[in-house]
Amino acid sequence: MEVQEKSSSRRVLLLSTLALTIACGLALRRFGYEAHLPFAVVKYGGSILWGSMVYLLLASLRVTTKPGKIAMAAALIAIFVEFFRLVHTPWLDAFRLTTAGALLLGRVFSLWNILAYAAGIGAALALDAAFPASRGVRQKPAA
């Protein structure tokens, strides 16, 4: 029962952090230029937050999975999504022109984005390891 309670509190903490990350990403993309932030901060800051978002989403879905496995899965998803930008069909390009399409899939392929995603995943992994609610959740019961 204690592990289930820790899993629940861990999930709430991860989902709260996920919501905050999404809010920060949307605010950065919406107000970054108005706040006179440099292009690189808005562009790659958003990508860093997107990578963090993918990690946090996976971690909240799989609270008992080891963080390293979650980070690896998040990295694979981020790389897949980036390379998926090289695929062009009329309906997909039309979706990419929408706000949701730009935020979820992006518009232009860039290897730099993969580095930014990796930085975001690494930051989320470090934050996840620091969560007090995550301590003890992944431990196997004594035999």
- DSSP 8-state class, residue 87: -
pLDDT tens digit sequence for 25-70: 999 989 998 999 999 999 899 999 999 999 999 999 998 899 999 9
**What angle is formed at CA 95 by the lines to CA 89 and CA 97, rounded to 5 degrees?**
105
> Across 42-112, where does the E strand assignment appear?
none
Rg value, the chain, Cα: 17
pLDDT tens digit sequence for 115-131: 999 999 999 999 998 87
As separate numbers, helices (DSSP H) first and strands (DSSP E) second, the chain gives 6, 0
Residue 43 contacts residue 117 (beta carbons within 8 Å):
no
